[in-house]
Amino acid sequence: MYRKEGQPLPPPEKFELPFEGKLSPNNRWVIMAELIPWDDFEEEYAKLFSAEKGAPAKLFRMALGTLIIKEKLGTSDRETIEQIRENPYLQYFIGLNCYQQEPPLESSMLVHFRKRIDGELINKINKKIVKREIDKSDKEVKKKDCLQEKGEKIKNKGKLILDATCAPADIKYPTDLGILNQARIETERIIDNLYKPLRVKLRKKPRTSRKIARKEYLKVAKKRKVSYQERRKAIGKQLKYLKKNLGNIEDLIQAGASLENLSKRQKNCLETIKKVYEQQQSMWENKTQSVPQRIVSLTQPHIRPIVRGKAGKPIEFGAKLSVSCVDNYVFLDKISWENFNESCHLKEQVEKYKETFGYYPESVHVDKIYRTRENRN
């Protein structure tokens, strides 16, 4: 259930403090609070909740403000709540009327805030802030444009800069041999958990050859230089051990073992391991180094290798971003875990510029990859 407060928030100088004094209007959090159009997106956020059922939800300003504080300070969820509890400026920023010593919300609420406030809503807020600031700085020019004759077209204005980048994910540098070894270890743990309730029924535990498999892995992993034949042979052995473990898991399930004995993480990991085995087996048989939607991390299977072609870092692992920059304001136009060609989105980004500001840019500045025949035309 969502309830909006009836009374407007007081200005910073009237924010109640337990000691003498008042908040400074020049503080960065006070200035930022004035820039963000909280009320303009209140109704859109309220649509996510029922008007009658459920406990009252936190206000939009508190939800978005808390997420902004977390990203601005670079702290964890718990540390963010502690910072808000100790700092009156942060409490004003999230919409409290007066300073309070108790934390205004639990750290677990940030998980729900991240689910409710998606990237699309953040982009809308960002565009609204930027448009308002540009309109203020260009107010005199706007008045002149309004006095133009009806038949005269509005001139193109502004400079649009487009580029793409990658946000690196926090994962270990992936190798085929390392991923297969990690998958083998996880399947061995899954076999141990599935076998526990079947000890009486099954006297013999399925053989995994974990000690031999680990020796085979370390024999190659510890070498500074490994030849192609040695690496391929080691990958082939790990594939056999992994196939054997996956077969043992299926046998245990047929014997009466339940997947309910596994944790949620292990269930997800098992599905990921099956896909990893299929991909690695396909690459090993076809003697290739690429496969569609290649998995490079068991714990974060959505991460993909992004080929960048840069010196020192030809391949990066993370989300690819396509961004546009206008007067030092940056807009996130596209984000994807899969690789994409940024030149295909040039016309769409130029149209978004016109939709936001009401006119086309005077010039567009891009890399050579954008200079396709279609884009030049």
> Is 307's pLDDT higher than 90?
no
Q: How confident is the model at residue 131 (pLDDT cuts 50, 70, 90)?
A: confident
| In contact, 300 and 329? CB cutoff 8 Å | no
What b-and-e string marks burial along 322-355, b requiring 16 or more CB atoms within 10 Å of the CB? Answer: bbbebeeeebebbeebeeeebbebbeebbebbee
Q: Is residue 77 part of a domain?
A: yes
Q: Is residue 95 part of a domain?
A: yes
| Containing structural domain, residue 184 | 176-286
What integer pLDDT is reported at residue 153 of this predicted model? 58
What integer pLDDT is reported at residue 145 of this predicted model? 54
Same domain, 328 and 347: yes
What integer pLDDT is reported at residue 170 of this predicted model? 86
Strands 305-307, 315-326: pairing kind: antiparallel
Q: How confident is the model at residue 180 (pLDDT cuts 50, 70, 90)?
A: very high
What integer pLDDT is reported at residue 123 of this predicted model? 84
Q: How confident is the model at residue 48 (pLDDT cuts 50, 70, 90)?
A: confident
| In contact, 40 and 55? CB cutoff 8 Å | no
Q: How far apart are CA 195 and CA 256, in angstroms?
A: 10
Give the residue-averaged pLDDT of 38-51. Answer: 84
Give the residue-averaged pLDDT of 355-373. Answer: 89
Give the residue-averaged pLDDT of 40-51. Answer: 83
> Is 151's pLDDT higher than 50?
no
Same domain, 193 and 234: yes
What integer pLDDT is reported at residue 138 of this predicted model? 65
Give the residue-averaged pLDDT of 135-144. Answer: 62
Q: What is the DSSP letter of 170?
A: S
Give the residue-averaged pLDDT of 74-81. Answer: 93
Type of residue at 366:
V
Strands 159-168, 305-307: pairing kind: unpaired
Same domain, 182 and 257: yes
Q: How far apart are CA 262 and CA 347, in angstroms?
A: 49
| Burial (Cβ within 10 Å: 0-12, 13-18, ≥19) of residue 368 | exposed
Give the residue-averaged pLDDT of 145-161. Answer: 67
Q: How many domains does the structure of the chain reveal?
A: 3
Closest CA to 141 of 298, 357, 346, 293: 357
Least confident of 108-117, 134-143, 144-153, 212-221: 144-153
What integer pLDDT is reported at residue 63 of this predicted model? 92
Same domain, 107 and 133: no
**Around Cβ 51, how many Cβ atoms within 10 Å?**
10
Same domain, 37 and 87: yes
Least confident of 61-65, 156-160, 181-185, 231-235: 156-160
More confident residue, 287 or 133: 287
The residue with tokens 């130029």 is 350
Domain end call among 239, 258, 286:
286
Least confident of 118-127, 132-141, 338-347, 352-361: 132-141
User: What is the per-residue pLDDT across 246-284, written as a single tens digit (0 to 9) for each?
Assistant: 999 999 998 888 888 889 999 999 999 999 999 999 999
Q: Is residue 198 part of a domain?
A: yes
Q: What is the DSSP string of 235-281?
A: HHHHHHHHHHHHHHHHHHHHTT--GGGS-HHHHHHHHHHHHHHHHHH
Same domain, 180 and 274: yes
What integer pLDDT is reported at residue 17 of this predicted model? 78
What integer pLDDT is reported at residue 315 of this predicted model? 86
Q: Is residue 351 part of a domain?
A: yes
Percent of the chain clearing pLDDT 70 (strictly above): 93
Q: How far is CA 88 from CA 20, 113, 187, in A?
A: 13, 22, 50
Least confident of 146-160, 196-210, 228-242, 322-336: 146-160
Type of residue at 346:
L
Q: For all residues of the chain together, what is the average pLDDT?
A: 87
User: What is the per-residue pLDDT across 321-350, written as a single tens digit (0 to 9) for each?
Assistant: 999 998 888 888 888 998 888 999 999 999
Give the residue-averaged pLDDT of 184-192. Answer: 94
Is the pTM above the cut of 0.85?
Answer: no
The residue with tokens 């400079």 is 159
Give the residue-averaged pLDDT of 175-182. Answer: 94
Q: How far apart are CA 329 and CA 338, in angstroms?
A: 26
Give the residue-averaged pLDDT of 164-182. Answer: 90
Same domain, 110 and 59: yes
Structure tokens at 80: 């963010």
What integer pLDDT is reported at residue 296 of this predicted model? 92
What integer pLDDT is reported at residue 142 of this predicted model? 53
Q: What is the DSSP string of 85-121?
A: HH-HHHHHHTT-SB--SS-SS-TTHHHHHHHHS-HHH
Same domain, 186 and 217: yes
The residue with tokens 């299929």 is 278
Type of residue at 94:
I
Q: Is residue 229 part of a domain?
A: yes
What b-and-e string marks burial along 159-189, b requiring 16 or more CB atoms within 10 Å of the CB? Answer: ebbbbbebeebeeeebebbebbbbbbbbbbe
What integer pLDDT is reported at residue 75 of this predicted model? 92
Closest CA to 339 of 272, 371, 374, 292: 292
Structure tokens at 143: 């008045």
Give the residue-averaged pLDDT of 12-33. Answer: 82
Same domain, 280 and 356: no
Same domain, 148 and 213: no
Q: How confident is the model at residue 64 (pLDDT cuts 50, 70, 90)?
A: very high
Q: Is residue 292 part of a domain?
A: no
Q: How far is CA 94 from CA 39, 116, 161, 168, in A?
A: 13, 17, 33, 30
Closest CA to 316 of 164, 180, 176: 164
Give the residue-averaged pLDDT of 197-217. Answer: 88
267 CB-near residues (< 8 Å, 6+ apart): 259
Least confident of 22-31, 149-158, 222-231: 149-158
Q: How far is CA 265 from CA 114, 179, 272, in A?
A: 21, 17, 11
